[in-house]
Structure 1
Amino acid sequence: MFKVDKPNNGTSACYGNCAINWPAFSTSKVTVPPGLSASSFGTITRKDGSMQVTYNGLPLYYFHKDLQAGNTFGQGVGTVWFAYTVPTPHP
């Protein structure tokens, strides 16, 4: 999952050609990874009426070239796209 590092005022920042490369993350049920709080996740309504998942208020996106689990080819693209990292639980 990626976030865009520019002001969004609680709205999705990526439509049209941007959304081809950076599809919005949407799901009917969020599975919260270990180490994260369910209260950190939410949703916003996009211009087309679809729902987009947020983390700490920031909309989440995929990168179209990340085809396998663990891929982060979108990291740092345009100096505004950054992967979210999950804290490693301590034993």
Structure 2
Amino acid sequence: MQVVDTESQGEVLAGPEGLTLYVFDNDDQGAESSACTGSCTDNWPPLTIDSEVVAASGVDTELRTFEREDGSTQVAADGRPLYYWANDETEGDTNGHGVNDAWWVVSPDGSPKRPAEDGSDGDGSDGGDGPAY
């Protein structure tokens, strides 16, 4: 787990290969379960691991793991399960940010980077498009 600097969202959490990580508003913080199951994971693959989670410099949040329904081990930051967006291809992509107003990139402190009070994303975009699952 690492921090990458993105053009549109600044510093965000990323997986081992540098791809941006996201949280889902339908997940209950601290519940150690995922609301994204079945076909949802086709577009939102969970960050899963086979060994202990390791945080690189700059990651400033508690990282935990929990067992998913399928038996895999998913990583959570600040009690929120972490996911990739299938349409992100390279380090720094944030194409999943704001999809269906439910999916958000994650700050190094583990908090979701939701839009500002005025409804803007802070980057001049509409916050993403496409299906949530």
Q: TM class by shorter-chain length?
A: 0.7 to 0.9
User: What RMSD over aligned residues (CA atoms) do the two structures have, in Å?
Assistant: 1.7
1:32 is aligned to 2:45: no
Partner amino acid, structure 1, of 2:65: T
**Structure-1 residue corresponding to 2:43:** 21
Q: Which range is displaced more, 78-87 or 66-75?
A: 78-87
**2:58 counterpart letter in structure 1:** G
Higher RCO, Cα 8 Å, sep 6+: 1
For 1:19 and 1:12, the matched residues in 2 are separated by 10
Q: Shift of the alpha carbon at 1:30?
A: 2.7
Q: Any stretches of 5+ residues in structure 1 without a counterpart?
A: none
Please list the CA deviations of residues 33-63 of structure 1 after superposition, one character each: whole Å capped at 9, or x if unmatched. Answer: 323246x001010001110000011100000
TM-score, normalized by length of structure 2? 0.59
TM-score normalised by length of structure 1 = 0.83
1:48 aligns with 2:70: yes
Q: Which runs of 5+ in 2 are unaligned?
A: 1-20, 110-133
Contact kept in structure 1, 2:25 and 2:102, CA below 8 Å: yes
Deviation of 1:7 (Å): 4.1
For 2:58 and 2:82, the matched residues in 1 are separated by: 18
Q: In 2, distance between residues paired with 1:31 and 1:11?
A: 20
Letter in 2 for 1:42: R
Structure with more of its chain in helix, by fraction: 1
Identity %: 36
Paired AA for residue 19 in structure 1: T
Query: Which residue of structure 2 aligns with residue 62 of structure 1?
Result: 84
Match of 1:79 in 2: 101
Task: Verify the 8 A CA contact 2:48 2:75 in the aligned structure 1.
Answer: yes
Contact 2:27 2:80 (C-alpha < 8 Å) held by counterparts? no
Give deviations 1:48-91, integer Å, cap 9, x for gaps: 1110000011100000001111111000001010011236xxxx
Instruction: Give the letter aligned to residue 83 of structure 1.
Output: V
